[in-house]
């Protein structure tokens, strides 16, 4: 199955380091940062698991639950978490899916034969509270993820939903945003009473209201 942005994230029930979970029920009304790893006890994965744990407060501020996945067992995950905590100086608390039979990895198209026939590539899925997939990113096995970008994307998606805007290149919170072309000037007057700057008819920049 080929997943696309806007699809409902496939639900699954599976063992994790925090007990058995069903994705949709576990997510509740939160966003989900679902990310996969090739294997336990590998160097890049260890740093990524550690960084996710270090950013626990940042994810919490964004009402976002991290959920890891590796194609190993719960017992192996638990041993690995000790290594992650020791080497990355953290206390990892989020669940890690035990996908030893690759069912979830296959469903989410995380197995790329060009990289490995048994290990998941570094996929990222941002899933919103309606269980819709809002973003997908895939890294090769040898490249660690940029967690500043992951947080930035969550900020951009949540800001867009709240204010009906789009975000320009390299946007970070506090920067100006874009009024989508689908909103004409008459409608924009009600939605954006703070006004805007028209760079081109299709490119209108405005500020996010304070407070």
Pairing of strands 13-14, 31-37: unpaired
Residue among 23, 32, 45, 67 flagged as catalytic: 45
| Helices assigned H by DSSP within 55-204 | 56-61, 74-88, 103-107, 147-163, 185-191
Query: Distance between CA atoms of 118 and 147, rounded to whole angstroms?
Result: 25
Report which secondary-structure segment, H or E, holds 45.
helix 43-54
| Residues contacting 36, CB < 8 A, separation 6+ | 68, 69, 70, 105, 108, 110, 120, 121, 122, 123
Q: What string of H, E and C letters represents the secondary structure of 125-165?
A: EEECCCCEEEEEEEECCCCCCCHHHHHHHHHHHHHHHHHCC
Query: Is 45 part of the annotated catalytic residue set?
Result: yes
Q: 98 in helix, strand or coil? A: strand
Report which secondary-structure segment, H or E, holds 206.
strand 203-206
Which residues are annotated as catalytic?
Answer: 45
């Amino acid at each position: 199955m080929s997943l696309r942005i806007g699809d409902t994230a496939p639900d699954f029930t599976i063992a994790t380091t925090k007990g058995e979970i069903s994705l949709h029920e576990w997510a509740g009304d939160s966003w989900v940062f679902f990310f996969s790893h090739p294997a336990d006890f590998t160097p890049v994965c260890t740093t990524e698991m550690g960084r996710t744990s270090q950013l626990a407060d940042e994810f919490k501020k964004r009402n976002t639950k991290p959920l890891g996945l590796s194609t190993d067992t719960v017992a192996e995950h638990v041993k690995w978490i000790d290594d992650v905590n020791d080497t990355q100086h953290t206390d990892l608390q989020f669940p890690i899916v035990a996908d030893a039979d690759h069912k979830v990895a296959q469903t989410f198209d995380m197995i790329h034969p060009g990289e490995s026939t048994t290990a998941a590539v570094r996929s990222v899925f941002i899933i919103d509270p309606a269980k819709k997939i809002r973003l997908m990113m895939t890294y090769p096995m040898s490249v660690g993820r940029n967690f500043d970008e992951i947080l930035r994307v969550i900020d951009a998606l949540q800001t867009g939903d709240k204010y009906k805007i789009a975000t320009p290149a390299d946007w970070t919170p506090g920067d100006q945003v874009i009024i989508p072309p689908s909103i004409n000037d008459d409608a924009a007057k009600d939605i954006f009473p703070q006004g805007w700057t028209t760079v081109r008819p299709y490119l209108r920049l405005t500020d996010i209201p304070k407070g």
